[in-house]
Structure 1
Amino acid sequence: MAAGSISEDEFWDSVIYFLKLSDKLDRKWTVREAKDGGKYVMKKEEELRCKDKDLTLGADFYRDQEVEEEDSSTLQTDGELEQRVLTYEYHIVYSQSYNVPVLYFNAHFQNGKLLSLEEIWEMVPAVYKERLSQDRWTFISQQEHPLLGRPFYFLHPCHTADLMKNIPTLSDKRHYIIAWLSAVGPVVGLELPLEYGQNFNP
């Protein structure tokens, strides 16, 4: 097995470790059985809100806890709320082809409108856009979810092993999911609290 990759057993050991942390820290991650049975996906949903009156995808979005009470006046009507609340759905599955985890995700407004690939790219923080500009359409792609059978965006796993083999703290493979998500998650709005990265043994 290539350096930086993990076996499926190691993947699930890392998932279990990660979920124990989640239960203690924020209780935002779960494991759900896929529709065909016998297959499981790690899942999280998160709402981001925009405080700007003129909504564009370049506007600032905030997690619920970051929106202060006095700013809630900008989200008063149902119509405005639908246009300013963006829901991300994140799934983590194991790729047997690449022997690494893969991050699948979708993003939609409350009216059900899914973001296009171009809009997804507009949401990528500027610091990552510059670095990924050459690979923008291959780093983030869209395909049928391997377990759910409907279109999802995903971060292509072809470079994951190369990325992870350069992380010196992965002697304990239980920390793999934490290290990997910390590295790739922020590209698509997924950030882990700092407590996940601290030496915490549940």
Structure 2
Amino acid sequence: MKKNWRSDGTLSADDFVISAIDLIEKWKQIDSAKNLWSLNSSRIGDVYLSLVENIYCSGENNPNFSHHFQNKDEELTWHHHSSEEINIEEDEVYDDVDNDTEDIAALVLDGNNDIHTYDFHIIYSHSYKVPVLYFRGCKHDGQPLDSRSVERDLPLYSSTIMKESKWTYVTQEEHPFLHRSWYMLHPCGTSEWMKLLLLAGSKESDDTPRNEQPLSESELSEVKRYLPSWLSVVGQVVGLKIPFEIQKKSDTHTS
């Protein structure tokens, strides 16, 4: 096994796969009764994680969020796309993905229209060398949610997180595999806070690359700890909770 592990807050594509597989296995062992992350492959060969969650609509707007969703022009607003870009047919969206049956959100409502279905994808960014969280929401009839509906669905404490944080904001970008508009948590500051987070629980502070060397046992533990640590932070913004036992196990392995 070759690796490119370094404690600068970034992650290689190979190490992303290692951490993703370990996260799935730990999640199954601890919380198998709930929806689970699944590992998927795009047609270009990249691996990513996907999860489907159903949430009850609050029906109340949270005005704070309009100040924390930015567009490509760095304005403090949502990045709106045309209705033709947003209105996506289910079969068309997943036409470019091999494992489409695992990604499509199937929801039986029994007449209940107060449930929204969210798809979450964790995708490796080759540019930033960190994972990126993409997400989109749908109504009970499969129609994509508009930006205001997504705002209302986000947990109230998310506004506080984004208000106090300088590292994240939500933007609307093209999904790298589906080539459609999805929301994403921008990764511009991820490596900086991940470096601090990883070093806080690690004995090793050397950030010198060790390319073309096998992973040591301690470095392998660091790799496996990456996604649980990352998800424990970014998940708070969109209401994704990581089981405490997973984070506890990861911290124990590096202590």
TM category (shorter chain) comes to 0.7 to 0.9
Greater Rg over alpha carbons, structure = 2
Q: State the shift of 1:197 in Å.
A: 1.0
Cα 1:77–1:147 change in 2 (3 A) is: closer
Counterpart in the other structure of 2:158 = 128
Counterpart in the other structure of 2:59 = 56
1:173 aligns with 2:223: yes
Q: Which runs of 5+ in 2 are unaligned?
A: 1-5, 63-108, 205-221
Distance across 1 between alignment mates of 2:148 and 2:192: 27
Q: Say whether the 8 Å CA contact 2:37–2:51 is kept in structure 1.
A: yes
Which structure exhibits the higher relative contact order, with contacts defined as CA atoms closer than 8 Å and separated by 6 or more residues?
Answer: 2
Structure 1 range deviating more: 117-126 or 12-21: 117-126
Q: How does 1:21-36 map to 2 (within 5 A)?
A: 21-27=26-32, 28-34=36-42, 36=43
Counterpart in the other structure of 1:115 = 145
Counterpart in the other structure of 2:134 = 104
Aligned length: 177
Q: State the shift of 1:163 in Å.
A: 1.5
Q: Which amino acid aligns with 1:152?
A: W
For the residue of structure 1 that corresponds to 2:143, the secondary structure is coil
Counterpart in the other structure of 1:62 = none
Provide Cα deviations, 1:59-117, integer angstroms capped at 9, x if missing partner: 9xxxxxxxxxxxxxxxx961xx1x21111111011001101000011111212232222
Distance across 2 between alignment mates of 1:151 and 1:129: 23
Counterpart in the other structure of 2:180 = 150
Distance across 2 between alignment mates of 1:180 and 1:135: 15
Q: Which runs of 5+ in 1 are unaligned?
A: 60-75
Distance across 1 between alignment mates of 2:151 and 2:11: 29
1:40 aligns with 2:47: yes
Identical residues among aligned pairs (%): 31
Counterpart in the other structure of 1:10 = 15
Counterpart in the other structure of 2:209 = none
Structure showing the higher strand proportion among its residues? 1
